[in-house]
Amino acid sequence: MRTIENPILTGFHPDPSILRVGDDYYIATSTFEWFPGVELYHSRDLRHWEMLPSPLNRRSQLDMIGNCDSGGVWAPCLSYSDGLYYLIYTDMKSKHGAYKDSHNYLVTAADIKGPWSDPVYLNSSGFDPSLYHEEDGTKWLLNMLWDYRAANHSFAGIVIQEYSRAEQRLIGPVKTIFTGTSIGLTEAPHIYKQNGYYYLVTAEGGTEYEHAVTVARSRSLFGPYEVDPANPVLTSKDTDAYLQKAGHGSLVQTQDGAWYLAHLCGRPVKNRRCILGRETALQKCYWTEDDWIRVEGGSRPQTFVEVPDLPEFYPQTESNKDDFTGEYLKKYWKSLRRPFTEEWITWNEREGYLRLKGGESLNSLHRQSLLARRLNSLDTEVETCVDFHPVTFQQMAGLIFYYDTMDHVYLFVSHDEEEGRCVGMLRTVFGAYEEPTVRISIPDEGEVYLKGVLQQEWLQLYYSADGKVWQAVGDSMDISHLSDDTADDVRFTGTFTGICSQDLSGTKLAADFRYFDYRT
């Protein structure tokens, strides 16, 4: 046996769906408003994971323009049958108030790396859909049912309906098969058949500090389901576990018959705030004599876990310094809500530079020109160099630490009527706009180097004219507001860092970035 250290996917990687096909393991995770949609990883040893191309990479599959913060792709489910990979996902259009506009889709591919099909629309009755492939060839869609009515519990249970591959639609009646346990907030259903039972694995307790994995079983796919008397199978509620928020799990069986549970977790920095967002961990499981599944070491998540001694997998990795000279963008790059098109981004228009055409404001839910990657370490230094010559205060470009439209920190180059070309810093905290420092005048010509140094929750920003001599911009600031845990409304993404450009005058003035260096 060998040992892994959790989390296995660091930074924003929530809602893992794990799958084995032959000797290959795959994990799909949620991406919410970040494009392209769904993150995919591949491994052959459960220890080393390689990022694959995202499957939802064109607007015909995922149109998120206007989607709310923490909307977009929720809880994908990855499965394999009939020589095809099946990917189910929710596109959450709005989530505020009593309602959830949650549209569920299916795409397929013969190769995990794509191309993936255009989507088949399934339903909109709730979120966290999954697909169960029965031994007789039938296919069944499960999802949680959302009830908006004031007198009812909004998490109304788990429903099932048959999916017809021939007709590419749902057919037959919708049946509620499970209404949850006393923990409540039942979601994220997955079904597994083992030991003559159908096992229904769900998430309960909400996706914060009372989160849990629960299990029920039945001799029939349609129930009734018997609740595991030892539930929850996994939780960090009321513990001092290193991995908090443990829940939303899916199971996989290895080639030698061992079982593992992939689940999300969070690592709080201060005041139970998780700047990195919800991450993915793996726990070893076993079956009891009376046919219930258990996590080794008990229901509290383990940081160090044994995995089978499989042949070592050597993933292909991409450099954390991007000089934008490749034919394609690196797979770790994400945009907000929209595909990479020449309407706003090019990396061959000026040799050796990535060009961002000025987009909408950092509050926009539509067409921001922002390119970012997930933050996966709290001891990180990021640096970029921008060639940008604004002529109005409405034009900005620079280095961003971004959670969502309500919370971000921005070091930028702009123009001021008195200072001329200048460096400034702004932040938005819980939706309140702030400028903690005065704008600093810089020469009209030449590139500008921008840097951020993060140590736990403390971020210090710098600028330089030559990339050698650096001047601090403002004081070190606490960025723990860039987390799931600080808003009045529940939200679900982690912190990203990257580059962006705004032109609020509408002329789309371009900013040219020579590199982006991410160091841990």
Identify the CA nearest to 142 among candidates 84, 219, 68, 203.
203
For residue 135, the number of C-alpha atoms closer than 13 Å in the C-beta half-sphere is 8
Residue 16 CA to residue 279 CA, distance in Å, equals: 9
Cα of first residue to Cα of last residue in the chain, in angstroms, is 29
Residue 512: active-site member: no
Please give the Cα distance from 39 to 23 (Å, whole number): 20
| Long-range pairs of 308-312 with CB within 8 A, sequence gap ≥ 24 | 308/1, 308/2, 308/45, 308/46, 308/254, 308/255, 308/256, 308/258, 309/1, 309/2, 310/23, 310/44, 310/45, 310/46, 310/254, 310/255, 311/44, 311/45, 312/45, 312/47, 312/48
Is 228 annotated in the active site? no
One of 69, 187, 360, 387 is an active-site residue; which one? 187
Q: How far apart are CA 77 and CA 315, in angstroms?
A: 23
Helices (H) and strands (E) in the chain, counts: 0, 40
Picking from 423, 389, 427, the residue whose alpha carbon sits closest to that of residue 512 is 389
CB of 191 closer than 8 Å to CB of 200: yes
CA distances (Å), origin 119, targets 73, 86, 104, 451: 13, 11, 9, 40
Question: How far is 378 from 466, CA to CA, in rounded Å?
Answer: 27
Sign (positive or negative) of CA dihedral 434, 438, 443, 444: positive
Active centre residues (catalytic): 15, 187
